[in-house]
Structure 1
Amino acid sequence: MQFVPRQPDRNVNITPTSAIREFLVLAGGLMAIVLVLYLLLGFAVELLIPRLSPRFEQVLASSLLSKTMSGKIDAEKSQKLQSLLDRLQEHCARLPYHCTVKVIDSPRVNALAAPGGTIIVFSSLLDELSSENELTFVLGHEMGHFFHRDHLRGLGRGLVFAAISTALFGPHNQASRLAARFLNLTELRFSRQQETAADHFALDVLHCTYGHVGGALIFFKKLASMHHSRYAGVSFFSSHPLFPERMQDLQDYCRQQGFHNGRVTPLPEGW
């Protein structure tokens, strides 16, 4: 029997499957891995946040606050606000750590809760307040985020990465600095439930301090008016969303708790 060579039915150097199909399979597998990691990190956030000690939180804050507090600190106004904040913490707001407040010269109308127990108030927000009651509500609201640790949950999965890198390599390593670039405190977003809980905390502080909640709704109506008129500097509602039901919820909570309005205390001259 004579052997007759012949060409193979297909090129053995070329895979029989489609290149597009292989790409889709690999891309799908990669997306699945990323999704699993994302979900695991989300679970890690909820597991890690309640267990972060205030001391460790302050270590993390050192790499984040320098970026947020890049403006000029108004020492005089910061001291005045600190006196009020100390009074609130001593009598009406028990928190796991002592909070401090810094006033930053800025055209932004905003305030935020930063890791480590620091409340940052931008000077333009103070310019819009006319009473100590409004200021107390603002500070109380940010303390509410501290109480529920929303400020850490808002940083999310980036915070987990920063915490792990800080624990392994220290606060000043390249990984920690990289994580800090993606942790923009001024762009924090809070959910409706978190905002509601912080509002309730602020109302409790306001009522504990003055015996009434006068000033709370004035503050919201004032900023809402500025927001609707597209005032360029208002960023309070970008990080503290104004849900349509939010002011109604404030009124409902006051009614449930038996809180009532009262005469507000004007801010001293020089504010």
Structure 2
Amino acid sequence: MSVVSLLGVEVKNNPATFDAPYEFEITFECLEQLQKDLEWKLTYVGSATSNEHDQELDSVLVGPIPVGINKFAFKADPPNLSRIPNSEIIGVTVILLSCSYDEREFVRVGYYVNNEYTDEALALEPPAKPVIEKVRRNILSEKPRVTRFAIKWDSEETAPPEFPPDQPEADLVADGDQYGAEEEEEEEEVEDEAAAVGGEDAEMAGADDTAGPAADEDAASDAGSEDIEESEDEDEDEEEGEEEGGDDMEMDDGDAAKGDQSHPQQPASASADVMVH
């Protein structure tokens, strides 16, 4: 459980010119008396392809922290243009507001920032070297991305576990209940039978045996099929033969076989201002 919880961040001057300072009003809650100050920091991401252009705009120590809900104003300078590639000034970038206790970061808020020209002509044909006086920034404050980290505070009890908890019940599973045990037993039985018959040659012989009956069954199924119309005609012929009572009604077994085979997805109740160093 975190001793300090971030309740809200309000961006005061937005939109603003590119070279205007950043201003925030931060509200947080402290559940216990802290021995040290909180460090808040604002970072500007200068390039989407490399963190070499990231720059810390400002940092501030806040404390001592009283127990309860606290609020303070945080102001930071704009980024240094010399540290940003010209091709990365116009467009969308990111700013990161983070807080640490005893050099351990426990919360980070990320905002998308859109830098664009206020002049329509410059927006259509941006120059190679940006005209900063004509650039306006717009922080997308309605859609922050908040990331929280579990850290150790003043007591050892608040320290997060270094390793995953033990799972002794995982070792109580019997060997026979393990996944794939039945498949292994079946494979062993097949191998034993193959070895008893005579190894690889026996397996190949078994494959030949299975191929033979399959063909016989196909032939038998083809032989057993017949045309409905012809069957009816034969029945009529048999009935006529029975009426006549002659010996010609009987069919030779060989001839009959030949005939058959032809048809195949808390609001804050009170607040206290804290000291900012």
Same fold? TM cut 0.5 = no
Normalising by structure 2, we get a TM-score of 0.24
Q: TM-score, normalised by structure 1?
A: 0.24
Higher percent of residues as helix? 1
